[in-house]
Amino acid sequence: MKILILEALKIIIPIFFMITSYLGFTQNGPAGVGSTDGTSTLKFWIDPNLGVSVDQNKVNSVTDLSGNSCNFSSSGTNRPSLVIGGINNQNHFEFDNSTFQKLNLNKNTGVGNYQSRSLLYVFKFTKEQQDLNLFGYDNRHYIDYGTRGSSNGGVTTKERIVIRNGWNMPKSNEGSVKKDIWHIGTAIYRRGSGGAARNYFYNNGSLVLSINKYHYFSWGVGTSFDIGAANDNGNSFHGSLGEVIFFNTNINNAKRILLENYLAGKYGLLLDANDVYTQDNTVNGDYDHDIAGICRIASNNLHNDAQGTGILRINNPSGLGDDEFLMWGHDNGLMQASERSDVPTGVPGRLGRVWRVSEVNSQNTPVDVGSIDMLWDLSNLGTITATDLRLLIDTDNDGVFSDETPITGASSMGNGIYKFAGITDIQNNVRFTLATMNLQQTALPINLIDFQANINEDLTINILWQTASETNNDFFTIERSDDASNWEKIKNIDGAGNHSGILDYQYKDKHPIWGNSYYRLRQTDFDGKYTYSPIKSINLEKSQLIPSVINIYPNPTFDNIYVDGNGTILKNMHIYNLLGKDITSLVNRTEENSSKWIIDLSKLTKGIYFIKIDNESHTIHKN
């Protein structure tokens, strides 16, 4: 059995679909810009959701996803924190400038000296201070945020951008980059002829700063690159940081806009200009996973082949015109042919995952980029027969696939890649997915449907998972960690071997780790091969303890009594008189909170009563 998770594993292990492309190299970098094999202009890419090693929530290292091994590290008290799911269910780094927290690229990792470069990042600064150093190299500032004094235009209250290239320090009094608000920053440095250069800074897709300055960006072996603090001074960055993407070239506007829309969709942010992907909005269904796209600004400013971090690659548009964009993402549904009802007649099943597209211009008016080729990387989905595959497109945009005509004609390109060529039915807002005509021969399986770790009221951890089918499944291993890096086995659970149909599994960890902890599931086949589930995080604090001892007061009472205890137990409370008759319905009970109830005994006559809670009987005197 294989548990195949197409979403990248949280915290530690980045998984990318590295495929052999047809007709050239695969654009599987962010938004489908650049590649992750180290051969493109994408030179480093860090994502707080992937490849992060932590110790007690403090970052030890961050893996570069570009394929260039530009890995970052932090140490001692200078380590930023990792915040889980802090923005649109995405992780981010947290920097506190009081201890000069930073991520540092090893000085022995040089990837070239760049006269042009592009940097995109998601950030929020939370402290007003002159020159908050977000990025720097060789103890020099590269990009700062903060306030400026009277010597810089007399403005002392606005937040502003400070871009420093070596000793040149152009500044802006622009106040659009506000404190305590998440932003998408884009800094592009374009080297021109004769030594001329221009810095462009975009905030949420809108150009806010353009400066003619030149300084050679020398970042080679022996040169440090810091995120969070250019040096150990009081001007270190104070705030939050999400994804960071660096290119060793001045990317064109086509790629910039695609990348900004990718970051906006993933992190749930709004763009001020060129917001061309709207399927990430809640009203449209939150299709904000594995966003990628193609577009054309002009004949010499385009990007017409993209895959991104997901399994779908689109290229070869027949009618892509100026100011036209085609972007797509999915709803993170099950990558398994689990949907059996919403399918056309004769189609036994389709993927639970659904994709949706925006096909618009920069004003969000629908356009038509012509026919496209759609290539699907199904290399992790077991045995596939191309003739069994069907492409389903919701052409009438009613959210239903059962009334659509399945599209045939998939061809195998090798290495698990299957192509539907010349597709013309993809239009703005439509949904689409893959289906199979044979659930035995082309099952489109991912067998692990769900994996959860939840805190019980008694502060044990309930671990649950569900499989849709199992093949050669020997056993599961539940693993636990306090840092998402070093794992311990806590229990082996036998698998079902070979089984068709849904199975539920459950285990209770009676001795969990206090504070932050992480759980994952390892599934092992009979031949010893194994795969991992996504990682689930738990925060267990002693303050969450609910009193287990029943406390009833005042006793005796004239009217109300208060009962403290475990919330679940109190729900089963009953009141009896001296004759043993249940009189619970005669009194008014109010749940003040999960562990306290108020019982109104004012309507009862004077005497002795009994409150029975979880097989315990307590005597009450009513005056």
> For the chain, how far is it from start to end, CA to CA, in angstroms?
68
The series of mean pLDDT values per 10 residues for the chain, 623 residues long, is: 33 30 66 94 92 87 90 87 91 85 73 72 82 71 57 42 44 64 89 66 88 56 73 74 93 97 96 96 93 97 95 97 97 84 94 96 96 93 90 96 97 96 97 92 69 84 84 88 86 86 86 87 82 82 56 85 74 81 85 79 85 79 82
Looking at residue 16, what is its pLDDT?
Answer: 30
Q: Are 512 and 461 in contact (CB under 8 A)?
A: yes
Looking at residue 457, what is its pLDDT?
Answer: 74
Q: Are 623 and 557 in contact (CB under 8 A)?
A: yes
Cα distance between residue 380 and residue 400, in whole Å: 27
On whether both 178 and 61 belong to a single domain, the answer is yes
CATH number of the CATH domain containing 162: 2.60.120.200
On whether both 560 and 470 belong to a single domain, the answer is no
Looking at residue 405, what is its pLDDT?
Answer: 97
Phi, psi of 151 (to 5 degrees): -70, -5
In a domain, 479, yes or no: yes
Angle, alpha carbons 448-481-106 (nearest 5°): 105
CATH number of the CATH domain containing 458: 2.60.40.10
On whether both 598 and 530 belong to a single domain, the answer is no
Q: Are 66 and 212 in contact (CB under 8 A)?
A: no
User: What long-range pairs does 529-533 form, CB within 8 A, spacing at least 24?
Assistant: 529/2, 531/2, 531/3, 531/4, 531/5, 532/3, 532/5, 532/9, 532/13, 533/3, 533/5, 533/448, 533/451, 533/465
Please state the pTM of the whole predicted model: 0.71
Q: Are 119 and 250 in contact (CB under 8 A)?
A: no
Domain boundary residue, one of 222, 250, 278: 250
On whether both 564 and 512 belong to a single domain, the answer is no
- As a whole number of angstroms, the longest Cα–Cα distance in the chain is 103
On whether both 56 and 126 belong to a single domain, the answer is yes
- Cα separations in angstroms, 423 against 287, 299, 324, 396: 21, 23, 17, 16
Range of the domain at 52: 42-250
In a domain, 363, yes or no: no
In a domain, 556, yes or no: yes
On whether both 69 and 208 belong to a single domain, the answer is yes
User: Into how many domains does the chain fold?
Assistant: 3
In a domain, 362, yes or no: no
Domain boundary residue, one of 191, 217, 250: 250
**Of 94, 118, 87, 119, which is closest to residue 288 (Cα–Cα)?**
87
In a domain, 158, yes or no: yes
Cα distance between residue 383 and residue 411, in whole Å: 14
On whether both 463 and 577 belong to a single domain, the answer is no
In a domain, 530, yes or no: yes
Cα distance between residue 80 and residue 83, in whole Å: 10
On whether both 572 and 476 belong to a single domain, the answer is no
On whether both 605 and 481 belong to a single domain, the answer is no
- DSSP of 372-420, one letter per residue? EEEEEE-TTSS---GGGEEEEE-TT-SS-STTSPPB---EEEETTEEEE
Q: How would you classify residue 241: left for phi > 0, otherwise alpha for psi between -120 and 50, otherwise beta?
A: beta
CA torsion angle 82 83 85 90 (round to 10): -50
Burial zone of 366 (CB within 10 Å; 0-12 exposed, 13-18 middle, 19+ buried): exposed
On whether both 494 and 606 belong to a single domain, the answer is no
In a domain, 406, yes or no: no
Domain boundary residue, one of 543, 559, 579: 543
On whether both 516 and 539 belong to a single domain, the answer is yes
Looking at residue 560, what is its pLDDT?
Answer: 87
On whether both 113 and 225 belong to a single domain, the answer is yes
Looking at residue 15, what is its pLDDT?
Answer: 28
Angle, alpha carbons 404-346-357 (nearest 5°): 30
Q: 57 - beta bridge partners? A: none
Looking at residue 94, what is its pLDDT?
Answer: 94
Q: Are 353 and 378 in contact (CB under 8 A)?
A: no
In a domain, 65, yes or no: yes
